[in-house]
Structure 1
Amino acid sequence: MKMIEKAVRKYGFFPYYTEQISSHLFRVSDGRHDYALKKSRLTEETVHLWEHVYHQAHALQLKNILPVYLTVDSKLYAWVDGIYYYMTPWKKSNSPNNQEEVRDVFRTIGEVHAKTKQTQSIDAHSVHNRFSDYRSQCRNFQDTLLDFVKQFEQNRFMSPFELQVCTHYHVLVNVITELDAQVAHFIDAWEENSAWSYCLCHGNLNVEHILSHHQPHIINWEKASYDNPIIDLTAFLKNQVRYYDQSPEDMAELFPSYSHRNPLDEKEWHLLLIHLLDPGHYIQLIEGYISAQSGHSMIAQQKMLQHAFRQLQLGLDWSLRLKSDIAPDSETHAES
């Protein structure tokens, strides 16, 4: 704990009590107040953008970005033996788990994206080529999955995992068909409007990095970047639908809290659906099972496969909503 003591001293007080919460998080008390000390994974290359997050939060009044304390020499971090530490207020770590809390999280993400949003024009030709190549790859997905199903069906007794893949197959066919259509729509929308939005993105947005006590606070901006908002939305939606109880219908009902603050244009909607419909992770899980190199038990592999399938179901459900002119950010969904 010597390094922790050195880091805390950079903030001008001696810890009265220190509790190690995890390998990178410490709860520190001076006898009156509690603080969270984070042993970060920041590097010399990433620390400057991390600092920029907090300068932006101050300048733009992004109150849902949990602030960091200044050291005695007015720095945002304490550098001790080659490691960057930073200190924040200690907040109860209630992850958002009900609809109202998730709605608040969408609202918070939307505000950060909207207040830091900028646009630029990108060469449409290069984007067209990249997504045309991806579309060709998508067309091979169905053959790959069909080969897996044929292989499993040759077994006299299928394992639970193999049976799960065969049961999912008819849905995956629809997913891949819809993915191909969304890529085509994205290319068409891009050729009509090459303006590209980018904003401050968290880079690893999930409920573990959101404290929902009275109001949401987003923590751990160590992987922050300036990118299209779809990067954050995809990460959060995948996490929610894989590991929590929100259904596609729940997500559609809650999403207007985001889109009322930072509306997505047509090509961003198609890009979001492309990310959600991408079966790459699902296929990787099957390949890991076949090669027997996943390192997980049968039950664990089944759970991971089901989680990946839930993500694809979300993409398929939202695609159908858009086709029916009932997009998840439709005005018919009232924001509370």
Structure 2
Amino acid sequence: MTTEKDTLNYGPVLFHYDLFPEKLEQHGKVKKVITKRGTFALKEAEMTEDERSWFTHVIQRLSEIGFHQVVPLYPTKFGDYTVQLGSRTYYLMPWFASDERNERAKDEVLIDHLGKIHALTLKEQDFSNEVVEHSYQYLMNRWENRQYEMERFTEEAEQKTYMSPFELTYLSHFHQIMRMTEEAKRRLKEWYETCQREKRYRSVLCHGKVSRNHLIFNPTGEGHLLNFEKAVLDTPIRDLAVYFRRAAHQKEWTPEEGNSLLDLYEKHVPLLNEERGLLISYLSYPEPVFNAVDLYCMKRNDYSQIEMVHRLESRIRAMKKIRDFCDAIMMAPPPAPMEPTDSMPTKIHINDDGDHI
């Protein structure tokens, strides 16, 4: 039931929509709002004024260019699409019940929608040597600094008389992990050199946080995407890398499934050779393993050694699947490139922001 605290917290927000809740339920980061006028989903987020403006522009622009599989935003009675209350931003959407279809079917819809968005917003950028150089140096420096941190962790562990089970496990895979790191750096350098030689770079509208959790189905069974709060204009590889890195950590995921889904995506946006190399570079870098080391260093007293070791081993297994997937990407002949469109504003923003499992 609706509590007095809920009413105090969300009443001022729902006032903007002339909604009076009979019941509020928490579902992840979304509140299910049950009223006499119907059932709605209220999302709470942290966004700056510029981010709010861009977010609403993205939702509206996607509809304008023909992509209608986005969960729509309800305007307030004042005509706004977001409500600002203190440091929090809120927006209201229709409520869609959970869908029971299997995960593979959801992934196919997710990748298909992603390909459609990228195809509709694909833009061949005017080549900027300065921007590509900055992007390359930024990411290479970030990766090398992370590699140095892991090498330092290794040296400190090796100096101990008695290493922990986590440290022993990490050290047993250390050389393999470093080979992945060097492969990622080599592929990134190849991407940079190809960009310099071909003088080309493509951008699309990236969702920014691609996940099964951000795909829901309406009552007729049609899949809709939500949570475009982190949408950005960037290389299509940004979204693909985020998706495949997360997918590889699912126990049932296989490189063969990854190949099938990448083929589905490329029916909409065939990747250029250098884009394939950039995807391999992003995927090969073992950031998920490094993040497991970070967690061990910061919170080793919060978890048992068994839990920490299981987490590390799970991520190492996922990286091995990713390596097999990358091998298949390298062997597959690239499809013929498609014609770019001019449907979104343009800019270049190459960045691996560490959004990893």
TM-score in terms of structure 1 length: 0.82
- CA separation of 1:194 and 1:303: change in aligned 2, threshold 3 A: farther
Structure 2, unmatched stretches of 5+, are 1-6, 337-357
Aligned Cα RMSD in Å? 3.3
* Residue of structure 1 equivalent to 2:113: 108
Decide which of 10, 13, 21 is 1:7's aligned counterpart. Answer: 13
Decide which of 261, 264, 274 is 1:267's aligned counterpart. Answer: 274
Q: How much does 1:182 deviate?
A: 1.1
Q: Distance in 2 between matches of 1:313 and 1:321?
A: 13
* Residue of structure 2 equivalent to 1:237: 244
Per-residue CA distance 1:67-105 (angstroms, 9 max, x = gap): 111222332223445643211111123487522221111
Choose 132-141 or 22-31, whichever is displaced more: 132-141
* Residue of structure 1 equivalent to 2:47: 42
* Residue of structure 2 equivalent to 1:202: 207
Q: How much does 1:65 deviate?
A: 1.2
* Residue of structure 1 equivalent to 2:170: 165
The residue identity in structure 2 corresponding to 1:216 is G
The residue identity in structure 1 corresponding to 2:44 is K
Q: How much does 1:261 deviate?
A: 0.8
Choose 225-234 or 212-221, whichever is displaced more: 212-221
Per-residue CA distance 1:265-301 (angstroms, 9 max, x = gap): 1221111111111234423533553566685443443
Q: How much does 1:120 deviate?
A: 1.1
* Residue of structure 1 equivalent to 2:347: none
Report 1:269-308 matches (<5 A): 269-286=276-293, 288-290=295-297, 295-308=302-315
TM-score in terms of structure 2 length: 0.78
Choose 270-279 or 146-155, whichever is displaced more: 146-155
Q: Check the 8 A contact 2:16/2:83 in 1, yes or no.
A: yes
2:230 equivalent to 1:223: yes
Report the 3-state secondary structure (helix = DSSP H, G, I; strand = E; otherwise coil) of the residue aligned with 1:105: helix
Q: How much does 1:31 deviate?
A: 3.4
Decide which of 52, 63, 71 is 2:68's aligned counterpart. Answer: 63
- CA separation of 1:88 and 1:147: change in aligned 2, threshold 3 A: closer
Q: Check the 8 A contact 1:145/1:169 in 2, yes or no.
A: no
The residue identity in structure 1 corresponding to 2:109 is D
Report the 3-state secondary structure (helix = DSSP H, G, I; strand = E; otherwise coil) of the residue aligned with 1:72: coil
Figure out how many residues of one structure are paired with residues of the other and give that number.
328
- CA separation of 1:123 and 1:252: change in aligned 2, threshold 3 A: same
Q: How much does 1:141 deviate?
A: 7.4
Q: Check the 8 A contact 1:203/1:223 in 2, yes or no.
A: yes
- CA separation of 1:131 and 1:30: change in aligned 2, threshold 3 A: closer
Q: Distance in 1 between matches of 2:260 and 2:293?
A: 32
Per-residue CA distance 1:105-127 (angstroms, 9 max, x = gap): 10011111111222212323553
Q: Distance in 2 between matches of 1:224 and 1:174?
A: 32
Q: Check the 8 A contact 1:96/1:210 in 2, yes or no.
A: no
Q: Distance in 1 between matches of 2:210 and 2:58?
A: 15
Q: Check the 8 A contact 1:288/1:294 in 2, yes or no.
A: no
Report the 3-state secondary structure (helix = DSSP H, G, I; strand = E; otherwise coil) of the residue aligned with 1:46: helix
Q: How much does 1:208 deviate?
A: 2.2
Per-residue CA distance 1:17-54 (angstroms, 9 max, x = gap): 22131585221223363111122323322110011012
Q: How much does 1:164 deviate?
A: 2.3
Q: How much does 1:251 deviate?
A: 1.2
Q: Distance in 1 between matches of 2:86 and 2:178?
A: 53
Choose 33-42 or 2-11, whichever is displaced more: 2-11
Decide which of 248, 252, 263 is 2:255's aligned counterpart. Answer: 248
Q: Distance in 2 between matches of 1:191 and 1:76?
A: 42
Q: Distance in 1 between matches of 2:32 and 2:131?
A: 49
2:326 equivalent to 1:326: no
Structure 1, unmatched stretches of 5+, are 332-336
Q: How much does 1:144 deviate?
A: 6.7
Q: Distance in 2 between matches of 1:318 and 1:311?
A: 10
Decide which of 180, 186, 197 is 1:181's aligned counterpart. Answer: 186
- CA separation of 1:249 and 1:29: change in aligned 2, threshold 3 A: same
- CA separation of 1:159 and 1:259: change in aligned 2, threshold 3 A: same
Per-residue CA distance 1:184-241 (angstroms, 9 max, x = gap): 3212321222322222222222222222562322112222222222222222222221
Report 1:83-162 matches (<5 A): 83-94=88-99, 97-124=102-129, 127-128=132-133, 131=136, 152=157, 158-162=163-167
Q: Distance in 2 between matches of 1:85 and 1:155?
A: 51
Report 1:71-86 matches (<5 A): 71-80=76-85, 83-86=88-91
